[in-house]
């Protein structure tokens, strides 16, 4: 709890103030009360309160004189809040000069005073953490600077607490290690690339310990003050790039716009994050800065559906060359059309869904694809386009092989179903390719399997069924020849007649006439 001293010459005012505010809930405890400034001065020395809430007009020693005396004598270092029934601009001016936390007019607004107390409590807590050298405070201050949440008046103090100069130019640089492939049970902390980066940044700024901001395991941010050791921030980044050698992976640096004054630091950080959004559009560059982004915009669109259809078709056909060609087109589009990272991720997710959907349609289990999990989780570690393409190619290759296995398994159990299907539908316009597509099989493989199983080629089997049915119709009906041709699956009567003669060694008309002659 933070200790509070209440000072007011009216006892009822102090009682009302004690009961109006939920002091304990806000982190404060009232340890003493004083009826005038002189009494308060003694209590301040004895109690060493964190906060003094005082009226201005009091006998013996008024509120402003009390504050001035405490600061001059340095008997304690409390924060002050003034409460007054007089809306006097001169009083307010003096209060600001003395560094008073707030000047609140009577009657007191509970919400206004409570908000001030919350702010004071946070400030006291930060000060104590800083005095203890608490690392959490350094991270909090840095985060406030980078996000722009820190009031301008507090920026110099924050910079000083962080060991940075309080004026001059600054820049945020984001460093990211991509394409890291860890062995099972490997410890990522064993890679000392962040320590290398810190040493290199310290050398750039004259031995000053650099300020690191760590948003991720493989990403780290630097907040650097301008130094005579380099002529531009791009030059500084190139120097860092040469000095840091990660054990695994590829280092990329993203340079924010220079911040000409400390209050612009958050703009530099924001622009560095924006530069990182171009990592795929500018995939070949190891250092990306605002200059590289001029005239360029990102797209958040999707790849054409035809591209996914081509890839799936190539996978089902086991056409490795075509699958590789489609992947080349996909990843070239990511770069040339300047896809944003989330648009790239959406395309990869769409590919995974399409492939897994096909596997399920073939009665397969997509969870058997080890490369699927690796590709689905690719955003957990930074990737270049090259690294992502390798993951994608591994997934496509494994899924293609699995589809081939499923086709074989399905074919073994389905070949008798296919034969039955042909016997039911031979009157329709069917062919090997149509049936193969329906049963998710390669047409060439289906033809070979059919011949191996039944000792006859598919086309010969189909023709035999049609001719046998045609002979039955010629025997049992008076249908015309062209009607029989259509009935048994021939759209061209002349072609039907030629095929009939090839099998029966007489034309349909001759066959019918021969039957009539026997009668």
Stretch 348-360: mean pLDDT: 94
pLDDT of residue 5: 94
For residue 47, give Cα distances in angstroms to 76, 78, 123, 275, 472: 9, 10, 20, 54, 116
129 has a pLDDT exceeding 70 = no
Q: Tokens for 268, please give them.
A: 């530099």
pLDDT per residue over 163-211, tens digit each?
788 889 999 999 999 998 765 555 555 568 888 998 898 888 876 667 7
pLDDT per residue over 6-36, tens digit each?
999 888 888 888 888 999 989 999 999 999 9
pLDDT of residue 317: 86
pLDDT per residue over 108-117, tens digit each?
888 899 988 9
- Which of 505, 440, 415, 512 shows the shortest CA–CA distance to 470? 512
Spatial separation of the C-alpha atoms in residues 154 and 156, rounded to whole Å:
6
What secondary structure does DSSP assign to 212-252, as a single string?
A: EEEEETTEEEEEEE--TT-SSHHHHHHHHHHH---SSSEEE
Q: Tokens for 488, please give them.
A: 């048994």
pLDDT per residue over 361-387, tens digit each?
888 898 899 999 889 888 888 999 999
What residues have CB less than 8 Å from 47, skipping those under 6 apart?
3, 5, 31, 32
pLDDT per residue over 387-440, tens digit each?
999 999 999 999 999 998 887 776 666 788 888 889 999 999 899 998 888 877
């Amino acid at each position: 709890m933070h200790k509070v001293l209440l000072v007011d010459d009216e006892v009822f005012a102090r009682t009302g103030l004690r009961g109006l505010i939920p002091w304990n809930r806000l982190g404060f405890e009232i340890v003493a009360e004083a009826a005038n400034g002189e009494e308060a001065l003694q209590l301040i020395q004895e109690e060493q309160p964190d906060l003094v809430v005082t009226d201005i007009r009091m006998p013996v020693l008024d509120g402003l004189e009390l504050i001035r005396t405490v600061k001059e004598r340095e008997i304690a270092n409390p924060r002050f809040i003034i409460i007054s029934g007089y809306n006097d601009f001169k009083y307010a001016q003096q209060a600001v000069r003395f560094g008073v936390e707030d000047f609140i007019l009577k009657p007191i607004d509970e919400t206004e005073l409570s908000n001030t107390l919350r702010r004071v409590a946070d400030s006291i807590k930060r000060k104590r953490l800083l005095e203890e050298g608490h690392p959490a405070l350094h991270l909090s201050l840095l985060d406030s600077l980078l996000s722009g949440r820190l009031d301008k008046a507090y920026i110099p103090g924050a910079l000083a607490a962080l060991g940075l100069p309080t004026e001059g130019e600054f820049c945020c640089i984001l460093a990211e290690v991509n394409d890291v492939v860890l062995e099972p049970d490997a410890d990522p902390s064993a890679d000392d690339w962040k320590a290398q980066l810190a040493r290199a940044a310290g050398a750039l700024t004259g031995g000053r310990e650099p300020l690191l901001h760590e948003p991720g395991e493989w990403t780290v941010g630097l907040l650097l003050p301008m130094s005579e050791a380099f002529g531009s921030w791009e030059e500084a980044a190139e120097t860092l790039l040469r000095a840091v050698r990660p054990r695994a992976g590829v280092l990329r640096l993203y340079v924010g716009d220079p911040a000409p004054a400390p209050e612009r630091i958050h703009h530099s950080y924001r622009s560095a994050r924006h530069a990182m959004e171009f990592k795929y559009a500018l995939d070949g560059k190891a250092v990306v800065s605002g200059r590289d982004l001029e005239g360029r915009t990102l797209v958040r669109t999707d790849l054409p559906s035809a591209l996914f259809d081509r890839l799936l078709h190539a996978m089902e056909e086991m056409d490795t060359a075509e699958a590789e060609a489609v992947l080349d087109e996909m990843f070239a589009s990511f770069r040339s059309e300047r896809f944003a990272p989330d648009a790239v991720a959406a395309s990869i997710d769409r590919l995974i869904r399409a492939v897994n959907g096909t596997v399920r349609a073939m009665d397969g289990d997509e969870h058997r694809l080890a490369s699927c999990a690796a590709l689905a989780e690719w955003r957990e570690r930074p990737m270049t386009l090259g690294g992502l393409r390798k993951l994608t190619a591994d997934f496509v290759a494994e899924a293609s092989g699995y589809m081939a296995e499923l086709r074989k398994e399905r074919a073994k159990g389905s070949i008798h179903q296919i034969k039955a299907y042909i016997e039911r539908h031979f009157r329709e316009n069917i062919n090997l390719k149509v049936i193969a597509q329906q049963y998710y099989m390669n047409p060439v493989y289906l033809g070979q399997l059919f011949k191996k199983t039944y000792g006859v080629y598919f086309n010969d089997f189909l023709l035999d069924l049609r001719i046998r049915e045609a002979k039955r119709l010629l025997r049992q009906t008076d249908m015309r020849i062209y009607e029989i041709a259509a009935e048994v699956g021939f759209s061209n009567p002349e072609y039907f007649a030629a095929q009939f003669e090839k099998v029966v060694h007489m034309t349909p008309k001759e066959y019918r006439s021969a039957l009539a002659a026997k009668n």
